[in-house]
Amino acid sequence: MSDAVTRWSEALAPRAHAVQRALGSAERTPRMAVVIGRLLGAGMLVCLLTGVYSHLLQDPSAPVVLPTRPVELYQWSQGTHVMVGTALMPLLLAKLWVVYPRLFRWPPVRSIVDLAERASIAVLVSASLVQVTMGLLNTFQWYPWPFSFRGVHWALAWVIVGALVVHVGVKLPLIARHWTRAAEARDTTEHETDASA
């Protein structure tokens, strides 16, 4: 059994590396992934806060009392929620464009932490795409699904929060390294030094 797995792995490794080289681009850098990730994170936080505000106003619970005045507060909150949520779609697609060559890395899983990262990313990407698409269709008041929009939208928000916490936790060293513009200059210098060696 292990011989078959080894042969299969050896046969697929060169193909995975060839796909990664073909997909390579100067724009697909860790710094670009971090910059787009910051924008996505900020947008998701705004959507989460405005969504929680809306949910608690529509389903009030005893211990939480939210302001209902001025009357326009809800309109501003929901307008912000819809506007930022709509802006998340191109940001999400841009982030996927930057990082998708990593799907072809070989071997696909290298450790338990790597497995947790990949699982959290699968949940995060799929839930985010469904969430943003559902929200966009809701703006048109078109519901081509048999379930409650509000209930699923609310539940998916918390699934995204959990997956995002795991993803950021695993990627925190990379995020910290590439947070500032100085990291880009440092990486360029390191790349030139490696090329000349």
Res 120: pLDDT: 87
- What number of other Cβ atoms are within 10 A of residue 85's Cβ? 23
Quick check: 23 and 100 in contact, CB under 8 A?
yes
Predicted TM-score of the model (pTM): 0.75
- The model's pLDDT over 81-116, given as tens digits with 9 standing for 90+, comes to 999 999 999 999 999 988 887 777 777 788 888 888
Backbone angles phi, psi at 43, to 5 degrees: -65, -40
- The model's pLDDT over 25-71, given as tens digits with 9 standing for 90+, comes to 667 788 888 889 999 999 999 999 999 988 888 887 757 777 777 87
Token representation of residue 94: 């841009």
- The model's pLDDT over 146-177, given as tens digits with 9 standing for 90+, comes to 999 999 999 999 999 999 998 888 888 888 88
Helix, strand, coil percentages (3-state) for the chain, rounded to 5, are: 80, 0, 20
Which DSSP letter does residue 179 get? Answer: S
Give the SS3 label for residue 33. helix
